[in-house]
Amino acid sequence: MNSEDLGKELYCIHASLRSGCAKEVHEDAWQYLNPYEQQLWINTAKEMKNLLTPAKSKKAAPATED
């Protein structure tokens, strides 16, 4: 799922929880948001992806012998 799709999904869920309407009601509203609002939701989606993606394990530094 790309960031735009995830942003749209987050918007729909958020709006649905606030209004009490079904999530599908808000899917059409996405196209009427101004570009600034859409970009905010897309940026939120990117940040959530970063936070929810497990960090890659780092290799331990090789031990030095003196």
pLDDT of res. 66: 55
By C-alpha distance, which of 37, 13, 17, 41 is closest to 27?
13
pLDDT of res. 11: 87
Between CA 44 and CA 40 the distance in angstroms is 6
Contact 41, 11 (CB under 8 A): yes
pLDDT of res. 15: 87
The whole domain housing 18 covers 3-52
Per-residue pLDDT for 63 more than 80? no
Contact 44, 7 (CB under 8 A): yes
**Is 0.95 surpassed by the pTM of this model?**
no
Is 20 within the bounds of a domain?
A: yes
Is 65 within the bounds of a domain?
A: no
Q: How many domains does the chain have?
A: 1
